[in-house]
Amino acid sequence: MDRQISGGAEGFGSDPDPVAGAEAGGWVSEPAIRAIAELLGMPFIRVLEVATFYTMFQLEPVGRTALIQVCGTTPCMLRGANELMATCREKIGPKDHLSADGRFTWQEVECLGACANAPMAQINDYYFEDLTPEILAQIIDDFAAGKSPKAGSYVGRTSSEPEGGATTLTDPKLYDGSAARPIKKLPNSEPAKETA
């Protein structure tokens, strides 16, 4: 693509340049999708399919302080996603709508690939994991107060390790090279035998 994709903070709906990215106010309008299709030489419907399928694309303005995407797929649902969504509803308002002050939007999305740390939500560009309704309420309050709440696990685990720390692959020899041995013969390194 040889053309800079840009736009104003108000989004495409009123931007004189009809081609813009999600950074332009966090959403992309239907005229922008048409312009992108034209720019890429693709059918409009194919660009529209991408924009409507992936939840990182927004088709209308979203909260300028925080876009909260709560995972509602089975592992998160079994671990309390419905309660997280109730917290969002209570503090922000209805799903998929801007809050009254225009600062927050919340959505339910499909699996975000952090199931081991369920329940979780993506807020703006970061994952917030191992959440409870109380913790999520505090995170929303912190965003509202202009703070930057910490991302990651809220039970203190590193990445997706079990709570309390790793239980496998804990031998330091695995990482310091002392367990390494020369490989005498690579598996499957012989030429294939000819069959009659």
Between residue 116 and residue 145, which ones bind ligand FES under the rule CB under 6 A?
118, 120
# of chain residues touching ligand FES (CB under 6 A): 11
How many angstroms separate the CA atoms of 102 and 64, rounded?
A: 7
The answer to whether the CB of 58 falls within 8 A of the CB of 40 is no
Q: Given the complex with ligand FES, which of 65 and 117 has the nearer CB atom?
A: 117
Query: Is residue 85 involved in binding ligand FES (CB under 6 A)?
Result: no
Query: Is residue 55 involved in binding ligand FES (CB under 6 A)?
Result: no
> Residue type at 102?
G
How many angstroms separate the CA atoms of 156 and 158, rounded?
A: 7
Q: Given the complex with ligand FES, which of 112 and 139 has the nearer CB atom?
A: 112
Laid out side by side, the sheet with 121-123 consists of 104-109, 66-71, 121-123, 126-129, 152-153
- Out of 55, 60, 73, 103, which residue is the one contacting ligand FES (CB under 6 A)? 73
Query: Is residue 114 involved in binding ligand FES (CB under 6 A)?
Result: yes
Report, in Å, the least distance between residue 81 CB and ligand FES. Answer: 7
The answer to whether the CB of 129 falls within 8 A of the CB of 115 is no
Q: How many CB atoms lie within 10 A of CB 37?
A: 16
Please identify, among the stretches 38-46, 110-118, 153-161, 171-179, the one whose residues bind ligand FES according to the rule CB under 6 A.
Answer: 110-118
SS3 for 34?
Answer: helix
Q: Given the complex with ligand FES, which of 6 and 74 has the nearer CB atom?
A: 74
Torsions phi, psi for 121 (to 5 deg): -145, 145
Report, in Å, the least distance between residue 69 CB and ligand FES. Answer: 10
Query: Is residue 71 involved in binding ligand FES (CB under 6 A)?
Result: yes
Query: Is residue 109 involved in binding ligand FES (CB under 6 A)?
Result: no
Query: Is residue 84 involved in binding ligand FES (CB under 6 A)?
Result: no
